[in-house]
Structure 1
């Protein structure tokens, strides 16, 4: 936050009034006001991701100081964090944060804490793909002046915010600070990881009229090659916008011939998976992911007749059709599917999902077999992520 922020100016006045007192104790009249101002400054300055389902207070940043401390360099600070965490009388993040503030004020270590937060605030800003890979993407920051619209069409995919295209004549196209396929990872320090549809718009609307700082993850590595963990997601973007160009370095899926895998077919511009329907069985009133470990073997033991089917994983639901006559066998919207997963025996091509059957019968498990391990993983990922193709322009 700016050094001339009104909260900081008010805090300076409050500190001067405290310094005018001979001794500062718990009963000092200005102490509570000083602590309250400090809390407001921390909440404003330590910007937490607003897109999480759970609200994160400034205490969450203090908690991380234990992990961020190295070589005992700030041993007094992690000790205060541990002491705060261990206090049985504190029930909320707000209470722990306030306890921590009073503790470090009494020990005169507030300066160490702030310096440490400033020192670690820019570490590992390109960490959004560590869940998937040790490879780190190119991460860059763009500072945009206040404007009505940047001119980007966004696409929410895999809980990330992709740039799908740039509008003609827009600021984004004029400045060329972003390319289709890049990811908007942060806006003004607010993380957009784990975003769902329209949440970037919510953040931008709150920052309307303010300068914007966009942290971008590039689809292109420094050597010009495609950032490998993005390859399957870039393929999905290209299906939606065939005009996208990612260079000759975008590898084709395994087993692809003449532009299309033999285990896939194109119908009405969509890719359908050719898989084997191995059967299904009722599993009772519980449909959590834990049941797959015995539900899938239960279906396989029945040795039901295999059927060649086409699986169409759409944006809101999936459809299974008989490959021989195109008759629809079943259709399930994603909210009806309680879990999906792969089976490790005898290979990794078998997967299943649990779906609500009827109120009386509970859940049933449907088991299928893909043509390859890679394709099995792709289908499970697409069903599990419930993609949203709604476009948003900013």
Structure 2
């Protein structure tokens, strides 16, 4: 009977599980971390440590030492991936770099090439013990490479920017982007701990407090592409000062994992944070699938990508001249209604930085306006309290129109009308205007 290695048997089961899931493999796949961990164990099995060296050797060094050029003198795919890994500022250890490289290979469907390159480089392969390593056992290498070939035929779509915790764990946090319009104050109180930038609190009434997108305990990973991994005290403030007046794109790592529990690599840090700051209140699980009252969306609302989208009637729009202040609304709304344009049922999506209006039937986007473009918003005082409108600078694509345009809608009820108006007003009241 041919000898078997338990690692290969377990890896085969894991690959079959990934295959059974079908479609694209993403970071949310429950079998992904196990598969990556097994590949790592194969790479570490039989890897010998250098004599008289203080540096612990890991499989990252094996790939790092591979020849940079192929037989034709071109940079090999492995070398390009190794270089991309080497320059990633979010990785601080050999373990993190090795894990990033494996994820990169899965994304590029190039895992068999990576290992073939390793197997054909004798001076690196000699680092492995022939008596222990799977890579130096002829009976094990063939089935192992077959499993890698199966993985290369699967589509992986992994978020390579979500890599700041690979130094510690194969389990990655929930990572989301928080987009903020240029504002006077984002309103996030920060605390630095072990090179991480934690959100300690939100300033009442600030943009972050109104948006409710971030929570105390979350970690800021980067701001506008600038990594905050291994940050020193005040570094995030320096970045924000440099970007004052600019739209912000903040990558947030949630303190809650996908299953709703505390993300395990953060447990010790959160305990230390709470010891240092006993007033720290970790919020309830984020529930984008719920309305503020915790109920399901009403018939006049629907869900889109976890956000509540309002179903309203688009009544039309009209050019109202050179003034767009709130005092013009009581004259501008009747001006729109007098045109008697055919109304449309639309989806009004109020996002963090802008709003979009989409025809509910045709799914065609009618328009999009960022909050800094909106000069005012309000309800029609009489006789219909369900009509609301906002004024926006006319589009440069229509040079025949000048000044401001009033865009009018009818909500399903008075309460919902007030809610929409408040949300739009909140969006642009924090905006800074620059001349």
Normalising by structure 2, what TM-score? 0.36
Bigger strand share: 1
Normalising by structure 1, what TM-score? 0.40
